[in-house]
Amino acid sequence: MTPTKRLFDILASSILIVLLAPLGAWIAWRIWRREGGPIFYLSERMQTPTRGFLLYKFRSMTPDDADSGVSGGDKSHRITPTGAWLRRTRLDELPQLINVLRGDISMVGPRPPLRMYVERFPEVYAEVLRSRPGLTGLASLHYHRHEALLVGRARSAPETDTIYCRACIPRKARLDLIYQKHANLCLDLVILFRTVAVVLR
């Protein structure tokens, strides 16, 4: 990560945390009021092929100690009413601005993967994770809805895992590597503005 990109991340995340604090507080109150605690969901993700960190999200599902892997149709019964709205608007990702400020992720980059997939596909993620993972990215922008549709059809955890490994990881990796090849501040701004447009749609 270049010093310019890190400076941009610090400034952008700091400003957005201040501006969006009232919205974040209201979402936290709504989760607590309607579904009870916990308010946040913490998930281990990988910053590099060997270094993990805790990714913050607003909780959108009922807690399950045995939870693992990506969310597919097999977990749809656990999505809370507030969680469905958060996922639809992608506001469940809002707490990750803290991850950006901490330096765990960048504003723009490949989405941080789960450890299990980094260990299963080491060659893929050795390339993808040369870029600092991001809050949003080229793959997230162009493939998020299609991925949700694909894994949403799954009716079991193994089926979700198979779809994600065979269909989603290769396609997202190709887009992540395209971003990596052409990454610059202008491209980051375009991706950020288009992400905001998707959220507000």
* Mean per-residue pLDDT, 159-172: 90
* Residue 63 clears pLDDT 90, i.e. is over it: no
Predicted confidence (pLDDT) per residue in 82-110, tens digit: 999 999 889 999 999 999 999 999 999 99
Structure confidence at residue 75 (pLDDT) = 66
Helix (H, G, I), strand (E, B) or coil at 147: helix
Predicted confidence (pLDDT) per residue in 7-53, tens digit: 999 999 999 999 999 999 999 999 999 988 899 999 999 999 999 99
* Residue 138 clears pLDDT 80, i.e. is over it: yes
Residue 35 sits at the vertex; the CA angle it makes with 72 and 22, to the nearest 5 degrees, is: 100
- Say which residue the tokens 């990796």 belong to: 173
Q: Where are the domains of the chain?
A: 3-200
Give the separation between CA 147 and CA 142, rounded to whole angstroms. Answer: 10
* Residue 176 clears pLDDT 80, i.e. is over it: yes
Cβ atoms of residues 107 and 100 within 8 Å:
yes
Please give the model's pTM, rounded to 2 decimal places.
0.89
- Token pair, residue 66, equals 């045995």
Give the separation between CA 89 and CA 104, rounded to whole angstroms. Answer: 23
Q: How confident is the model at residue 78 (pLDDT cuts 50, 70, 90)?
A: confident
Helix (H, G, I), strand (E, B) or coil at 33: helix
